Structure 1
Amino acid sequence: MLSTQLLVVSLGSLALVAAQGAVNCPELPDTGVTMGEPVPMHPEHIPTGCSDFEILVARGTSEPNYETGGGKFGIVVGDPVVSNTTLKLPGARGYPVQYPASSDIVSGTIRGSLDVVRRLRSQAVACPNQTFALVGYSQGAGVMHAAAKDIPVHLYSRIKSLVMFGDGYRRLGDVLSRFPVGLNSKVMQVCAEGDPVCDTSGECVYYHLTYIRPDYINPVVNFIVRGFTG
């Protein structure tokens, strides 16, 4: 069952993203995205067979794909992370976590976390040499926290890195933002200064949308590659 803490964090994150603060913040871009609308899922985007490395990506609320560039994982985080990792590491691919990333956060988080665990279990059996990275952005970070509680311990060694962007758990303090022992040492937290979803002193929703920048993406790609090859 979804914890009360996760519900509070997720709903708080959505509220912060839905409205800009009253301070002097950069203007939010007109993306044409209606916050809270579900993201269409495309079964044809699910990779089949085996690969050496697979990056499971849980997108942020209503985060669309970079359609022009053939994106499948979310324009702000997933698409740049996966595309840049595959350029540096042949044999890597992405998996878009199958959940709607809508304003129905409770059922969506449960659905997404179940999908993450199901994917890890099935791929681990079908592809004995495949290893994994887990990436979550905003609501997607909540999905990964929920999934981590149910990932079988025997799969921990095959999960090489976890990267959370704009993780609402960080607002609750270091202890609550941690993952289970055995996974937590592999976690990279990425929180933009001023992002109110993860930064306790943040007041500008604008910064929650800046993770697409190379100064955030490039270190993450290097971290994932090192995890897979180290």
Structure 2
Amino acid sequence: MIGRLARFFGATLLFFGVAAPHSAAAVETARQPTQPIECRDIYFFGGHGLGEGGVEDWGETVQDVFDKYLRGIRDADPDVAVGGESIGYPRTEFPDWVKLVRERFSNGQEEVINGAIALNNQLTERYRACPNEHFVLAGYSEGAWVIHLYLKNLGTRVLDRIAGVALLGDPQYRGTGVIPKWYSNHAITPYFSPAIEDRVASWCVSYDLPAAKRTVFDPVCHYSGLGPGSDLANCQKAAKGELDKVWCPHLRYVETGGTKRAADFLVSRS
């Protein structure tokens, strides 16, 4: 699996997304590598976006999905044991878009490949140790792409143990994501394998904004340009605190109910 990821995708995968500021709170459910595995009924893996989270922190967006998922599971069946941990790839700071465009993305970033490899290692460890455990995956922004890449290369035996997948602000989003729109040679096709399509949901937020006199879109999963006043340019300003977050749907999956929809979907598949 690891070899296939590295050989097939190389070292040039880029992530062009934006993400919410870093959440200072560590994920309490993250399992330290030195701790023994305690098998659960369901285990949750979460992937953070650029500019948030880290190796042991899945960021505030996925944290909200997990919190709502846990409440939903407990309401449905309080006897179900649920655990979770972050996908162990490091935090990367929010990029300077103008610089990235000027350099034509020539340097690249390997976070997505590293994240997919980390998820493979972490999930495989639990798959082998806990034969009755099932998994749910949730990813936001860069984390959505990490999970997407992992699923692309996954064999059916492990796939059968994945109960549900929820993605938010996916740069690979079908047809309109920044990757298929801007760097189509890195687009993952088909968007999801038919073998798991009924267990996967992906959301891309948009809403009418009177101040803009138009509908504003999450530019990571609905890319429409980089010029002044574009959704992507506004998101960059919002991420830096130079513009109200309402101008950037990508930063508002909690406020717009996206995390609740993701959690409800995962509960329905668990």
How far the C-alpha of 1:62 sits from its partner, in A, is 2.1
The 3 A distance-change label for structure 1 pair 108 and 44 is same
Residue of structure 2 equivalent to 1:180: 193
Over the matched positions of the two proteins, sequence identity in percent amounts to: 23
- Give the match for residue 98 of structure 1: 88
Note if contact 1:134-1:161 (Cα within 8 Å) is conserved in structure 2.
Answer: yes
1:127 maps to which residue?
Answer: 130
Say whether the 8 Å CA contact 1:40–1:100 is kept in structure 2. Answer: no
Q: Is the 8 A contact 1:137 1:164 kept in 2?
A: yes
Residues 3/123 of structure 1: CA separation in 2 closer, same or farther (3 Å cut):
same
2:136–2:164 contact (8 Å) kept in structure 1: yes
1:106-165, CA deviations, whole angstroms, 9 ceiling, x for partnerless residues?
322222111111222221121111111111111111111221133222111110111111
Question: 1:200–1:74: structure 2 CA closer, same or farther, 3 Å change rule?
Answer: same
- Larger-Rg structure: 2
Tell me if the contact between 1:81 and 1:220 (Cα under 8 Å) persists in the aligned partners.
yes
- Asked if the contact 1:41–1:98 (Cα under 8 Å) also holds between the matched residues in 2, the reply is no
Q: Give ranges in structure 1 of 5+ residues lacking alignment.
A: 19-28, 34-38, 66-70
Structure 1's 105 and 183: CA in aligned 2 closer, same or farther, altered over 3 A? farther
Q: In the alignment, which of 215, 218, 223 is matched to residue 260 of structure 2?
A: 218
TM-score, scaled to structure 2: 0.64
| Cα pair 2:46 2:58 within 8 Å, conserved | yes
Moved segments of 4+, more than 2 Å: 1-4, 39-45, 103-107, 149-152, 173-177
Find the counterpart in structure 2 of residue 59 from structure 1.
Answer: 48
Deviation at 1:227, TM superposition (A): 0.7
Q: Cα gap change, 1:110/1:175 in structure 2, threshold over 3 Å: closer, same or farther?
A: closer
Provide the C-alpha distance between the structure 2 equivalents of 1:44 and 1:108, rounded to a whole number of angstroms: 23
Match of 1:227 in 2: 269
Q: CA 1:80 to 1:44, structure 2 compared with 1: closer, same or farther past 3 Å?
A: closer
Letter in 2 for 1:191: C
- What's the TM-score, normalizing by structure 1? 0.74
Distance in 2 (alpha carbons) for counterparts of 1:197 and 1:42: 25
- After superposition, the Cα gap between the structure-2 partners of 1:79 and 1:125, relative to the gap in structure 1 and judged at 3 Å, is same
- Residue in structure 1 matching 2:72, options 88, 92, 100: 88
- Partner letter of residue 65 of structure 2? V
Q: CA RMSD in A?
A: 3.3
Q: How does 1:102-113 map to 2 (within 5 A)?
A: 102=92, 106-113=109-116
Q: Deviations over 1:29-49 (max 9, x none)?
A: 9x5x5xxxxx99999831631
CA shift, 1:88, in A, is: 2.1
Name the residue aligned to 1:146: 149
Match of 1:3 among 5, 9, 29: 9
Query: Partners in 2 of 1:119 and 1:187 — Cα distance?
Result: 20
Which sits farther off after the overlay, 169-178 or 120-129?
169-178
Aligned position for 1:208: 250
Q: Deviations over 1:25-74 (max 9, x none)?
A: xxxx9x5x5xxxxx999998316311111111110012148xxxxx9421
Contact 1:169 1:177 (C-alpha < 8 Å) held by counterparts: no
Classify 1:59/1:200 alpha carbon distance in 2 versus 1 (closer, same or farther; 3 Å). Answer: same
State the Cα distance separating 1:189 from its structure 2 match: 0.7
- Tell me how far apart the structure 1 counterparts of residues 131 and 223 of structure 2 sit (CA, whole Å): 42
Deviation at 1:196, TM superposition (A): 0.5
SS at match of 2:164: strand
Evaluate the alpha carbon distance shift between residue 50 and residue 142 of structure 1 in structure 2; reply closer, same or farther with a 3 A threshold. same
CA offsets 1:179-228 (integer angstroms, 9 cap, x no match): 23312232111111111000134714221110112621222111101111
